[in-house]
Structure 1
């Protein structure tokens, strides 16, 4: 082979290598499809975690309301049973947040109180959120005949969107020795017994 021909062939191959830099359209499409599949898998999991964080707010606030009611009863021998007196619990909790509305209502003649974390009816949570209910009641310690308070926290079995759970529709039974009983449509998350 002539030297001149070899030089041209090598020059042509080097030039071809320089022109081949970059990605082909097929390679780019494959990468975009892979990213799309990963996003389709990850997005629902992410949305579920974001919803759990929103529900965690309500669970924490209603639990704090329960403890606040117990402390208030210890000091004043009465429960806060009216929304206008909500601030007397001294929790620093807003009665309404971005997703929830917090209320208190009488659970039975001043001897029990129901604390509510209700999904706001004017917010369309996607996916829907669960409501939380807390109950605090008086109980008598059998051995000493002293009065104490029992508190429980409950989570709605079904998530609700706009329209939410009506605070007036939530009712709870209280027993002398076991305290708050699980309302219909809710699950027991525990509390003091």
Structure 2
């Protein structure tokens, strides 16, 4: 009878130990695992966030280019300020949380630039006039370029417009 009592007593102790919850070591192991997983996932998440911010600049520059083409088709000239393109109903701002946008006149066209905050790539684009041999009228051609490097400071992009991206710029397709 004594051994039976000891067996039931040990079973009761084990049952109480199971009802008490997690040990400190078990909690530490879980916290360490969560820390390792977040250290792996956080840089990937931040990279995706920057890509989303940069897509804003691509869309804005593309919209500015299309607006310039439409304005040229309607009026026969290019505009040099973003507010002038507002007459087309684009509704674009020259400053957002991530970028500062500007237009500048260029030879036979206009260039648009997007200067990003620190940590984001700069973008530039433009619309140029292209006259084909034997053609009566000129047509317009657009280009969108991305800086090859991410600037360490918020400096305005140095972009010379043409029909191709040169220097520190690559074409965005």
Verify same fold: TM over 0.5: yes
In 2: Cα distance, 1:181 partner to 1:153 partner:
9
In 2: Cα distance, 1:146 partner to 1:78 partner:
13
Q: Which moved more, 1:78-87 or 1:154-163?
A: 78-87
In 2: Cα distance, 1:184 partner to 1:91 partner:
31
User: Partner residue of 1:170?
Assistant: 159
User: Partner residue of 2:121?
Assistant: 130
User: Partner residue of 2:46?
Assistant: 47
The answer as to whether partners of 1:69 and 1:89 remain within 8 angstroms in 2 is no
Give the superposition deviation at 1:63. Answer: 0.7
Give the superposition deviation at 1:28. Answer: 1.4
The answer as to whether partners of 2:67 and 2:85 remain within 8 angstroms in 1 is no
Give the superposition deviation at 1:93. Answer: 1.1
SS in 2 for 1:181: coil
User: Partner residue of 1:18?
Assistant: 16
Q: Structure 1 pair 69/152, CA: closer, same or farther in 2 (3 Å)?
A: same
SS in 2 for 1:20: helix
The answer as to whether partners of 1:83 and 1:105 remain within 8 angstroms in 2 is no
User: Partner residue of 1:182?
Assistant: 165
Give the superposition deviation at 1:81. Answer: 1.6
Give the length in aligned residue pairs.
172
Deviations 1:31-80 (A, max 9, x none): 11111111100000000000000000001110111111111100011111
In 2: Cα distance, 1:106 partner to 1:80 partner:
8
The answer as to whether partners of 2:127 and 2:143 remain within 8 angstroms in 1 is yes
**Any unmatched runs of 5+ in structure 1?**
175-179
**Any unmatched runs of 5+ in structure 2?**
none
User: Partner residue of 2:140?
Assistant: 149
Deviations 1:144-176 (A, max 9, x none): 433110001000111124332x25x3322x3xx
- For normalisation by structure 2, the TM-score amounts to 0.89
